[in-house]
Chains A and B, each alone.
Chain A
Amino acid sequence: AQSVTQLGSHVSVSEGALVLLRCNYSSSVPPYLFWYVQYPNQGLQLLLKYTSAATLVKGINGFEAEFKKSETSFHLTKPSAHMSDAAEYFCAVSVGAGNNRKLIWGLGTSLAVNP
């Protein structure tokens, strides 16, 4: 069965430091992978997605993620953290086909950015 594991439920970085949020997936077929961000008391916003094109995917707000099939990973990075990046981040994998597609979610990583 497909699954998503996010390593580290809480990550804390200093403003200006590198952000690295880890995501590993389990999928029997080529996956479609997503990173979403959720700010306090808000819904989920798509940061970026991997759809079997380029393995390095660039998203909004300076985030990017690299799909590594050999490591079954899709880690999210940002070179320099900003205070506004403090939020909850979710990795998800799309499973199923046609009208039976749905998203399987990781448990999320809470990112804190310290001044």
Chain B
Amino acid sequence: DAGVTQSPTHLIKTRGQQVTLRCSPKSGHDTVSWYQQALGQGPQFIFQYYEEEERQRGNFPDRFSGHQFPNYSSELNVNALLLGDSALYLCASSTTQRANYNEQFFGPGTRLTVL
């Protein structure tokens, strides 16, 4: 059973560019959450997708957008990249079918470097 997968593993962009990160949830999961983890910090919640809609959003600007596909996979898009967007981007999947304690399974992350 494949866990959460993310691609690419590493990415280097320059300021002003746009980037798309991809995530495939664990088999049987229908909810995908995205987090940003800056170096030496804890994860910061970006947004969560369920039934192809953004259900919750953290304190991130509109430059951060996402999408969920019918097969539950998800994309995170960041426009007009800033140096401060350099971070590890983590995808986590969960299911609404389990008990209500929000256990999330994480992928290995995508390391984004903005030069």
Contact = CB atoms under 8 A, between A and B. Distances in A.
Interface of A: 32, 34, 36, 41-46, 49, 51, 90, 94, 96-108
B33 A102 contact: yes
A105 to B, nearest CB: 4
B109 interface: yes
Interface of B: 4, 31, 33, 41-45, 48, 50, 55-56, 58, 90, 92, 94, 96, 99-109, 111
B102 A98 contact: no
A108 B42 contact: yes
A59 B102 CA distance: 17
Given A32-B101, A51-B99, A51-B101, A103 B45 contact: yes
Contact of A46 (B43, B100, B103, B108): B103
A93 to B, nearest CB: 10
A73 B39 CA distance: 26
